[in-house]
Amino acid sequence: MARPVVIVGDCMLDVDIEGSATRLSPEAPVPVVDAERVWRRPGGAGLAAVLAARVESDVVLVTAIADDADGRALGDMLTEAGVTVVAMPLTGTTVCKTRIRASNQSMLRIDHGDGTPAPGDLPPQVGQMLDDARAVCVADYGKGVTAHPGLRRLLERAAQRAPLVWDPHPRGTDPVRGCHLVTPNQAEANGSSADGLRRKWQARAACVTLGSGGAVLATAEGSVHISVPASCGAGGGRADTCGAGDRFAVAATLALAAEADVAAAVSAAVEAASRFVASGGAAAVSRPARLSSQGRVTTEPAAVTSDVVEVRDRLRRRGGRLVATGGCFDLLHTGHVRLLHQARQLGDALVVLLNSDASVQGLKGPGRPVVAAADRARVLAALACVDAVVIFDECSPAAQLERLRPDVWVKGGDYAEADLPEAGVVRRHGGDVVLLPTVAGYSSTKLIQHATERKNS
């Protein structure tokens, strides 16, 4: 059985309200933001866990989550991302951070929620997971998880047998002794050198991250500056750096888990964080929502249509990277949902090109599809990661992709790119083709065969 990668820390709900600001309020000289889009995602250690789950199949998050509406939404998003949550007791309400943004510029942040981990004994599963961990990443956001005495003892014990990376916070607690790597940014370092922090925290290594300037790594052998590779396009200006620290810490953790030395791990983390920011940052792991007339955030339903041009134009007006995938989706199963969620994480909007009933019959033969196109489309549209569903009649999606021109075309890893004649269409328009791994044991054809065999037995 595979040993898990364990993420430990404070989890919160992050909400981005995006819009335009073209006028000032008559009541005060402040901008008025006309809200156009709303996004939600796990924040803090939850974001770190989701980022880890994009490349690891067994990710466990040890955190404290409240049993309220925001906490349940957090739990659902983490589960959909493939994260196993081991919950510590929480007193109070889920912490929620809402950013108001216009033209890619943050205008205001509103925080609410007073949740803090409850004192007392930890669930036994916390110790079991940390004892079995292949690597541990601590994402401290100053809300109290890392201050729990019992958890600190378990983390110090874990550091003796597995790589432990600690991403600290100014309002958090000091890292436990023996961390393999501590990763403060410049503000968190507060003028201290990487080597000074390494000694202060009794860590094996420490690095101070410098954003587009790379990082300074200190070990017992000395200090070294690690630059951002020129190919990363780290960028600057108004790039949204939200989540870059989590991406850095997770990448370093996974590299150490793969037995890289600390310098190679930090180099990999610098590159990963730079690419993360350049590709849109935390927006790539957000799910769309909308504001109701009462001001509540609710799930935004996807559009179901056969007009691929209308979908293209509508989503392009929103900006960002357009991702598309396609298939029959006859009996939606876990493998489909995981693929769709991972595809959505590659960009800012996801379009599903859905084979019509006639198209499915041509591909799969008589008796298929089991579920009519209208019903398959409604089920897909109900998924929060799907922005639009386009039904088409051809056996190949090439003609639809010629009009849609996505930035990314995604298929399951049971295909090879040579088997995808539409790949040439995507690449001709500047798009990328991404093959994502499938979930073993899940297949619509096998599910239908099994149901038929049981019915006939």
Amino acid at 85: V
d(CA 148, CA 418): 53
Strand order in the sheet with 11-24: 105-112, 96-102, 11-24, 31-44, 287-291, 297-299
Contacts of 255 (CB under 8 A, 6+ apart): 264, 265, 268, 269
d(CA 77, CA 332): 18
Task: Write 108-113 long-range contacts (CB < 8 A, 24+).
Answer: 113/12, 113/66, 113/70
Instruction: Please give the C-alpha separations between residue 262 and each of 52, 204, 212, 257, 439, in angstroms, as whole numbers.
Output: 18, 9, 20, 11, 32
d(CA 146, CA 155): 9
Does the annotation mark 246 as catalytic? yes
d(CA 136, CA 134): 7
Identified catalytic residue from 14, 246, 387, 407:
246
- Say if CB 80 and CB 59 are below 8 A apart: no
d(CA 272, CA 445): 38
106 is written with which tokens? 């943050």
- Strand pairing category for 215-219 and 205-209: antiparallel
> Among residues 356, 426, 422, 365, which one has the least CA distance to residue 389?
356
The residues that are catalytic are 246
